[in-house]
Amino acid sequence: MRPSTPFPTALNRTKSTITTLVAALGWLLSRLVAAAGLLAAAIRRLLGTARGVAAWTEITVRRLVTRVDAVLRGPVARLARGPLWTLVIGRRPAVSVVLVCLAPVLAAVAAWVASATVGYPPLQRWLVGTWTGSDPRAVVFLGVALLVGLAAASAATNAGLLPTTLLAAAPLFGMAMTRYGAVVTTGYGQYTVSLPDAVAFALAVAVVGGISTALVGYGLGAGLRRAAGVVRADPAAPFGARNDE
């Protein structure tokens, strides 16, 4: 009897292994193809959804822009050109322009008068004493009355709230600018006021004081203008006239 050799057995095993490997690779390839198909379908669905969302967004934005444009061209435009413009700028733009140009002049004059007469330290003491009541000064009340009267005169001439505020804030800004170069005492000691510090302080004083004074003066001036208009439009009836009931 001839002895068996291991070569045919090894060859058969190799063929079986290769067949199994090829089958596994085929299965893996089919799974990959199927997964790629599912991924492509998901991407197509996602792109379709994105296109739908983009189309809906575009339509919504167009409708919103159309509505906003209609509102801006309608009520908002009428409001901006009508009552709002009258309140902020005034009925007479030429008068408003003149008052705005006059504001820097008033600021310069107020700064010159304050620095040439009393200077910043006494002015600060007067204001603090009048505010706290420890040392009230008639000149402070007179100055406030002049600013209110200036704002009222601006409103009475049909100027708007913006030029009235600038006109009332200008003298305050000018007087507060005299703080520049003065030696002031704080909790940290004494120091000389620099230009940026003086400008920031003057702006704060002008904003707070100017807005407050302008609101009071504008209300007073607008009320007087309306009252004068009513009197001119409806003159008094002759003495002794009576309405029959």
Average pLDDT, consecutive stretches of 10 residues, N- to C-terminus, the chain (245 residues): 54 71 80 84 84 82 75 56 69 78 90 87 87 87 90 80 88 91 79 88 92 88 76 55 45
Looking at residue 6, what is its pLDDT?
A: 54
- Quick one: pLDDT at residue 9? 65
Q: Are residues 157 and 202 in the same domain?
A: yes
Q: Where a domain ends, among 52, 81, 110?
A: 81
Of 47, 81, 115, which closes a domain? 81
Q: Are residues 101 and 176 in the same domain?
A: yes
The reply to whether 145 falls in a domain is yes
- Name the pTM for this structure: 0.59
Q: Are residues 166 and 65 in the same domain?
A: no
Q: Quick one: 172 and 107 in the same domain?
A: yes
Query: Are residues 111 and 195 located together in one domain of the fold?
Result: yes
Contact 212, 144 (CB under 8 A): no
How many helical (H) and strand (E) elements, i.e. helices and strands, does the chain have?
A: 8, 2
| Same domain assignment for residues 52 and 77 | yes
For residue 240, being part of any structural domain is answered with no
Do 202 and 108 lie in a common domain?
yes
Count of domains for the chain = 2
φ/ψ region of 244 (left if φ > 0, alpha if ψ in -120 to 50, else beta) reads beta
Tokens of 187: 């909790």
Q: Answer yes or no: is 4 within a domain.
A: no
35 plus 128 within the same structural domain: no
Q: What is the pLDDT of residue 244?
A: 45
Domain shared by 193 and 228, yes or no:
yes
77 and 190 inside one domain: no
Domain boundary among 53, 81, 109: 81
The per-residue pLDDT for 200 is 92
Provide the residue range defining the domain that includes 25: 11-81
239 domain residue, yes or no:
no
CB 191 within 8 A of CB 225: no
